[in-house]
């Protein structure tokens, strides 16, 4: 018996205010839905909005294509003189930011979009990325020449 897999759905809600745009994402951000995130954030810049707040509290999954959409939007927003702020990501997304070193590239905030304190969410630290280049001569030798 063949079972069909339900497509993952991402809901995107945008609300513009005098201070900027508030984007709420709900669902999964993956290869099929990341372009929708990218288009939404790019449209804000196209509309002249320079302060973009993204609520990630209802994002249940985000892979590298979603991370790439946020990185791309962050770079474009910064080059336009604006800010992209990500609000209260779930622990898995926070871990993705930490593992990739991308957390320092975003303004990651634990609070809600209206400025009130989150209900039961611990503070989300902003991670700094530290990369050290190690000379190839310092790498351990591996049989077969493959690391």
Check residue 98 and give its pLDDT. Answer: 84
Q: Quick one: tokens of 56?
A: 């990630």
Check residue 62 and give its pLDDT. Answer: 94
CA distances from 11 to 4, 14, 31, 120, 137 (A): 21, 10, 15, 23, 49
Tell me the pLDDT tens digit for each residue of 20-78: 999 999 999 999 999 999 999 999 999 999 999 999 999 999 999 999 999 999 999 99
Check residue 123 and give its pLDDT. Answer: 37
Sheet holding 21-29, edge to edge: 10-16, 21-29, 51-62, 83-87, 107-109
Check residue 124 and give its pLDDT. Answer: 35
Tell me the C-alpha distance between 79 and 141, whole Å: 43
What is the SS3 assignment for 26? Answer: strand
CA distances from 80 to 7, 16, 100, 113, 146 (A): 35, 18, 24, 22, 43
Check residue 132 and give its pLDDT. Answer: 41
Its pTM stands at 0.70
Tell me the pLDDT tens digit for each residue of 94-119: 888 888 888 777 776 665 444 444 44
| Alpha carbon distance, N-terminus to C-terminus of the chain | 43
Neighbours of 10 (CB within 10 A): 23
Q: Quick one: tokens of 14?
A: 């945008």
Check residue 133 and give its pLDDT. Answer: 43
């Amino acid at each position: 018996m063949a079972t069909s897999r339900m497509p993952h759905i991402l809901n995107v809600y945008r609300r513009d205010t005098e201070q900027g745009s508030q984007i709420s994402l709900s669902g999964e951000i993956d290869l099929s839905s990341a372009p929708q995130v990218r288009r939404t954030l790019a449209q804000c810049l196209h509309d002249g909005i320079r302060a973009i707040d993204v609520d990630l509290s209802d994002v249940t999954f985000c892979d590298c294509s979603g991370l790439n959409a946020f990185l791309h939007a962050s770079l474009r927003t910064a080059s336009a003189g604006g800010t992209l702020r990500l609000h209260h990501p779930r622990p898995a997304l926070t871990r993705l930011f930490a593992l990739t070193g991308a957390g320092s590239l975003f303004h990651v905030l634990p609070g809600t979009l209206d400025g009130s304190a989150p209900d039961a969410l611990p503070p989300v630290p902003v991670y700094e990325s530290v990369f050290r280049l190690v000379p190839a001569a310092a790498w351990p030798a591996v049989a077969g020449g493959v690391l």
